[in-house]
Amino acid sequence: MTAPTVEPVTRLIDQPRVDLYAVAARDPNPIHRETPEAYSGPFGRPVAHGMLVLALVSEVMTNAFGEAWERGGSLKVRWRQPALVPIEVTARATLRSETDGVATYDVSCEDAAGEALLTGTASIRLES
């Protein structure tokens, strides 16, 4: 199998989406919701969960690799700036290397202005 091109995914992350995510991911941190803690916090408003932003990276890899992404796929990322909601996020993965049957992609999530919210790598063993 040759490492495929990974198509980007763009999605609006708004407060209703964040609220749903807080319940689904069992993350009670009030900084993500419309709470006094969020408005008095360092960002002055609610911030999307980092793992919600990261979910878009996993989605683009699943789109490209299907179930193979679940068998030995790995991610290593750092968040670069907070995703202040509402925000339009685009997840990308660009092939960096293909060595010994393992493809490594540079991955990122960007806001609508192209500012990086998250960067890192994703690796996957290419199945024959």
Partner 1 sequence: MTAPALAFDSLSRGDAFPAVDLVVTGADVRAYLEATGEPADRWSDRVPPVMLSALMLATLLAQVEIPKGIMHTGHEHESVRAARIGEALRVTVQVTSYSVRRGALMASFDTEARSADGAGDEVIAISRASVLVPPADGTTSATEGNAE
50 binds partner 1 (CB under 8 A): yes
Residues near 113 by beta carbon (within 8 Å), at least 6 away in sequence: none
Q: Which is nearer to partner 1, 28 or 114 (CB)?
A: 28
**What is the nearest approach in angstroms of partner 1 to the Cβ of residue 17?**
6
Beta strands in the chain (DSSP E): 9-13, 74-79, 87-99, 102-110, 116-125
Interface residue with partner 1 among 33, 41, 125, 126 (CB under 8 A) is 41
Figure out which of the listed residues 1, 39, 43, 112 binds partner 1, where binding follows CB under 8 A: 43
- The interface with partner 1 within residues 61-100 (CB under 8 A) comprises 62, 66-67, 69-83
CA distance 126 to 123: 9
Which structure tokens are listed for 78?
């750092």
Question: Which has the closest alpha carbon to 43: 55, 56, 29, 54?
Answer: 29
Asked if residue 125 binds partner 1 (CB under 8 A), the reply is: no
Q: Given the rule CB under 8 A, which residues bind partner 1?
A: 11, 17, 20-21, 23-29, 31-32, 37, 41-43, 47-59, 62, 66-67, 69-83, 117-118
